[in-house]
Structure 1
Amino acid sequence: MLDNLIAFFSSGANIGFFIFALFAIGGAIFMISFTKVVHMVVSLAVTFLSLAGLYVLLHAEFVAFVQVLIYAGAISILMIFGIMMTQHKKQDEEPKRTGHEVLLAIGALALFGIIFFAVQQTTFPEADLPQVDDNTMEIGKLLYNKYVIPFELMSVLLTVAFIGAIVLAKREED
């Protein structure tokens, strides 16, 4: 098992994967552990950025760019604006539970160890996928040829949801 670990860390891509995976998992754990909403959004943004790094390692540059642009940028900023523009009543903070944090850290490390061990013991089949020169062009071809109807239905669904949110927000103002 130790030779598998040494072989895993002998590649720069594997080290990058390990770092991005740690940031993604750490950001997600911090997001559910923090009590202040702004800190939660920042840790969620760290998770989004580390997922974009994982997409780059998978040679999905377009998906990584969209991840950074939409999720890490727009969604995080929108959440921060929403937090800043709403009124929050001061609530009594919950008492610190150090035992809870210790159990959370032990559970996260145990889960990481189990997943790491399972991945090390698994043999993955070789995939014979065709390599393309331009991922973005291939995504565009699929979106506007084969998947044009689901793509348009999704845009209509998002537009209806946006209009519904505006109607609900107007109704709360009145």
Structure 2
Amino acid sequence: MFNFNVEFTGEFVAFFILSVCAIIGAVMAINFTKVVHTALSIAFTFIALAGLYVLLEAEFLAFVQVLLYVGAITILMIFGIMMTKHDGEGQEPGRPLLETLAAIGCVCLFGILFYGIRNADFPTETIAFSEDNTREIGLQLFTRYAIPFELVSVLLTVAFIGAIALAKREEDPQ
């Protein structure tokens, strides 16, 4: 059932290290109480994911991951944190029963996923990749998907303006 015939190559070690870093960063993002620490751990997770993209030979996705998520989104989160008030209100006391049940549920989910992945029969198709995948993505993006690309850029601009308007809005006197 558990066939662990694994060759310990450099790629396997890099994958293992980057995967552990991504998981640790995600767990830290959930467990930190300070919002700035959470934003930095999310950036750590994004960097580990970019490394995984490089291992998958998806250099364009790795570049976009670093440029957009690590750079822009994390900086935007930090600016949002700095522009809003955080007095520690709304913090709930710990619930040991719920935390224990959540941990048991996570372990069960991991077991089910592990069993399902180990017993799955994945087809091994060979797909001919383009030599320059970044060029091919650019051609598809600006020819076939030009209108959705522009609509997403307008949507992101409107969301950014709305976030600034919400952050700058003064509290209503009551």
Between the aligned residues of both structures, percent identity stands at: 58
TM-score, normalised by the number of residues in structure 1? 0.78
Q: Output the CA distance in 1 between the equivalents of 2:92 and 2:162.
A: 35
| Residue of structure 2 equivalent to 1:52 | 50
State the Cα distance separating 1:112 from its structure 2 match.
3.3
Structure 1's unaligned 5+ residue stretches are: none
**Change beyond 3 A, Cα 1:142–1:20:** same
Answer 1 or 2: which has greater helix percent: 1
Give me the whole-angstrom Cα distance separating, in 2, the residues matched to 1:116 and 1:110. Answer: 10
Q: Give the whole-Å Cα distance in 2 for the aligned partners of 1:24 and 1:16.
A: 12
Task: Name 1:17's counterpart in structure 2.
Answer: 15
Cα deviations by residue, 1:121-144 (Å, 9 ceiling, x for unpaired): 212101231122111101101011
Coordinate RMSD, CA, aligned? 2.9
The alpha carbon displacement at 1:165 in A equals: 3.7
Q: What is the number of equivalent residue pairs in this alignment?
A: 172
2:25 corresponds in structure 1 to 27
SS in 1 for 2:57: coil
Deviation, 1:83, is 1.6
Whether 2:126 is the aligned partner of 1:128: answer: yes
Shift in Å, 1:11: 3.9
State the Cα deviation string for residues 23-65 of structure 1 (Å, max 9, x = none). Answer: 3233223222222211211221122112112211211101111
1:110-129 pair list within 5 angstroms: 110-129=108-127
AA in 1 matched with 2:5: I
Instruction: Name the structure 1 match of 2:150.
Output: 152
Q: 1:23 to 1:105 in 2, by over 3 A?
A: farther
User: CA 1:35/1:165 → structure 2, altered by over 3 Å: closer, same or farther?
Assistant: closer
Distance in 2 of aligned mates of 1:169 and 1:92: 19
CA distance in 2, matches of 1:50, 1:86: 29
Higher relative contact order (CA 8 A, sep 6+): 2
Match of 1:6 in 2: 5
